[in-house]
């Protein structure tokens, strides 16, 4: 079974059963870092709006 990143689409790896042609989705480490930083920026912006 192939594992793809749902954000960028690259192949992240494989998991058993290896003869299975199905795919599954995750988030790769590069996209995880980017998404986490975007969430932090959004949280900071929301906090500023709420303080007004």
Cis, peptide link before residue 17, omega less than 30° from 0: yes
Give me the pLDDT at residue 52, please. 67
SS3 content of the chain, % helix, strand, coil (to 5): 45, 25, 35
Residue 24 to residue 14: CA distance in whole angstroms: 9
What is the rounded average pLDDT of the residues 13-26? 93
Give me the pLDDT at residue 23, please. 95
Give me the pLDDT at residue 30, please. 96
Mean pLDDT of the chain: 90
**Which of 51 and 19 is assigned the larger pLDDT?**
19
Q: How many distinct helices (H) and strands (E) make up the chain?
A: 1, 3
End-to-end CA distance of the chain: 50
């Amino acid at each position: 079974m192939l594992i793809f990143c749902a954000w960028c689409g690259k192949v992240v790896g494989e998991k058993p059963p290896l003869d299975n042609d199905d795919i599954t989705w995750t988030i790769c480490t590069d996209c995880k870092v980017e998404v986490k930083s975007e969430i932090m920026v959004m949280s900071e912006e929301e906090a500023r709006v709420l303080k007004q």
